[in-house]
Amino acid sequence: MFKMFWRKLRLAHQRKRAPAARSSRDLSPSLAVNLKAFLQELGTSPDLIIRHLTLGPRPGRTGALLFIDGLVDPQVVNRDVLFPLLNEANWGKNQGDIDLLAYVADNLLAVGEIERNTNFRQTMQALLAGNTILMVDGQAEALLLASKGWEKRAIREPEAEQIILGPHEGFTENLRTNTALLRRRIATAGLQFEEMKLGRRTQTTVAIAYLKGVVNEKLVEEVKTRLKRINIDYIMDANYLSEFITDAPYSLFPTIASTERPDVAAAKVLEGRVAIFVDGTPLVNTVPTLFVEFFQSPDDYNFPYQYATMIRWFRYLSFTLAVLGPAFFVALGSYHQELIPTPLLLTVKAATEGTPFPLVIEMVVMGLVFEILREAGVRLARPFGQTISIVGALVIGEAAVTAGLVGAPTIIVIALTAITTFVVPGLLGPGIYLRLIYTILAGVLGAYGILTGVLFTLLHLASLRSFGIPYMAPLMPVVPADLKDVVVRAPVWALWTRPRLIGWPQPRRQPIGYVPDQEEKGEEAGDDG
C-alpha cells in the first residue's frame, strides 16, 4: 500500500513538472524537427501557412516561413519579408560561413520589429499572436517578425456612452489602437504602459497605463500584484479581470469602473488612476473608483458649469427616485396614509379600489415584468427590441389596469422608475437590487423598513474600499477640497487640485487662485513629469 501511495505521489510530481519542462524546450538545429513540432501542436490547420525557401550562398540552406493566415498583414509578409529574401543575390559573398539569420535580420528584412528566440513555446506564442516566424536549417533559433494585421473595427462613438458635445470616438477591440488613442490625448513621456500575458490558454495581452509622477507608485504595484495572481485558462473580457481584482467580490456596487471612451480614460489617468486595457475588448477598467464617479458625465465638462451642476443634481434625484420611489409609494399607501393629502389619497384609493393584490405585490410583480421587457428589448434585434420595449409595456400596462389586476398609480410609479433608472447607467444593476429590497421592506415595515435598508446600505458603502481608497470619498470621509466637483461642478479654472486621496503625489494641476477676469495669475502648478 505504501509503494502504491509513493508511486502515485511520484507520478503527480512528474505531471506537475511536465509543463515546466515543455515550456523550457529549445528549438532544434534541424528544421524538419522544428516543423514537425509545430505541426504536432497546431495540427493540419488550413490557416497555418508554411513557405519553404532556399536561403544563403549557393547551394544554400533550407528555410521556412511560418504565419497564420488572417492574423498577419499580407503586404508586410509579401513586400517586406518574402520579396527581399527571394531577390537577394549577394548573400554576404566573401564572408565565409555567415550567421544567416543575423545577416537576414540586419541587411534584408524591412520589418520594424525583429526578435531572435531559441525557445519553442515562446516562438509558438509569437506565431499565434500574429508574428511571422523565419527558421533556417542548421540554426537552433528563429526570427520573430512583427507582421500583425488582422481585421479590426473602425473607431466610432460607443453606443452605451453617447454624449452631446465633445469627441465622438471610442475604443475598439484592438489593443494597440486603444493605447494609441490614449497616447494621443496624453502626449507626455510620463505616460507609461506595461504589458503582461494572462490566461494559460488564451495568452491574452493585458496592458496597464499610468502617468508617472502623478500616480501613486504603490497603487501601480498593487495593480500588477493582483493581476499576476490571476490563474485561469482564459481571459475573454475586461469583466474577467475586474471580478478577480476587485476589493469587494460580494458587493452589489462596482469598485472598478469601466469605459469605452478615450477622453474619460485619459481624464482618470491624469487624476492619478491606473487604466487596465485588455486585448479583444473595447472596455477599459480604471482604478481606484469612487461612488460619486457614476454620477459624472463627459458632458459635465463640455457644458457651462451652471447647467452642468443642475444636470448633475438631476442625476442624484433620478437615482434616488429609481431606488426609493416604489418603496415610498408602498409605505405611504399601506402604512402612512395620513401623510398623503386628502384629495390625492381619495384619487389613489379610487384608482386602486377592487384590485386583488396588496400594493407591495403589485409593485414587485410589475417591476419584474418591466425588467423582463427591458431584457427582451436588449437581446432581440434592434427593430424588434424597440417594438417589444415600447408596445409591450403599453399593452401590458393598459391591459393590467383595464382588467383590474393593478391600479393606475402603480403603472405611473413603475414608468417613472423605468425612466429614472437609465439616467445613471453605471449603477443600473445595484439600483434594481436595491429597489426590490426596499420595496419588500416597505411592504413589511413601512417607513421603518426603508430607513433600516438605507442605513445598512450606507454602512456597507462606508466600509468599501477601491484599491485602498474609501469608496464614498470625498463624502465619507469628507474632503472639502474635492467637493467642488461632487456637490457642484465648479468652473474648470477653479478645479485647481486633483482628488486628494488619489492624486496626492502631484496634487496641483493648474495655478491656484487663477480667475479669468484677473491679469495676475496665481502660483504656478508643479510639473507633472
Give the domain extent around 52. Answer: 24-145
Mean pLDDT value across the chain: 86
196 with 119, same domain: the answer is no
| 151 alpha-carbon distance from chain centroid | 21
Quick check: 64 pLDDT over 70?
yes
Domain end among 111, 145, 179: 145
Pair (88, 209) in one structural domain = no
- Give tens-digit pLDDT for 24-51: 588 999 999 999 999 988 888 888 999 9
Residues 350 and 462 in one domain: yes
* Res. 12: pLDDT tops 80: no
Q: Give the pLDDT of residue 316.
A: 95
What is the pLDDT averaged over residues 241-258? 93
Q: Is residue 401 one of the residues assigned to a domain?
A: yes
Same domain, 448 and 338: yes
Residue 292 scores a pLDDT above 60: yes
Q: At residue 204, what are phi and psi to the nearest 5 degrees?
A: -75, 135
92 and 135 both lie in a single domain = yes
With 0.75 as the threshold, say if the pTM is over it. Answer: yes
pLDDT digits (tens, 9 = 90+) for 358-384: 889 988 988 888 888 888 777 777 666
SS (H, E, C) 92-107: CCCCCCCCHHHHHHHH
Cβ atoms of 64 and 143 within 8 Å: the answer is no
Do 457 and 335 share a structural domain? yes
334 and 282 in a common domain: no
- Average pLDDT for residues 230-234, to the nearest whole number? 91
Tell me, yes or no, whether 113 and 172 share the same domain: no
Distance CA(210)–CA(270), nearest Å, equals: 8
Higher pLDDT among residues 94 and 187, named by residue: 187
* Residue 529 predicted with pLDDT over 50: no
Determine the pLDDT at residue 463.
95
Assign 163 a pLDDT band (cuts: 50, 70, 90).
confident
- pLDDT reported for residue 376: 79
Check residues 180 and 397 and name the one with the higher pLDDT: 180
Which of 145, 175, 196 is the C-terminal boundary of a domain?
145
Query: Does residue 186 fall inside a structural domain?
Result: yes
231, three cell numbers: 490563474
> Is there a contact between 26 and 92 (Cβ–Cβ < 8 Å)?
no
Q: What is the pLDDT of residues 263-279, one digit of tens each?
A: 999 999 999 999 999 99
- Least reliable range by pLDDT among 59-73, 379-393, 467-481, 488-502: 379-393
Tell me: do 338 and 457 sit in the same domain.
yes
What is the Cα 311 distance to its own chain's centre?
26
Quick one: 266 and 331 in the same domain? no
More confident residue, 354 or 184: 184
Given pLDDT bands bounded at 50, 70 and 90, which one contains residue 93? Answer: low
pLDDT of res. 435: 94
Q: Which residues pair with 192 in a beta bridge?
A: 210
- Residue 94 pLDDT level (bands cut at 50, 70, 90): low
> Is residue 516 a part of any domain in this protein?
no
What is the total count of domains within the chain? Answer: 3
In the chain, % of residues over pLDDT 70: 89
Residues 111 and 168 in one domain: no
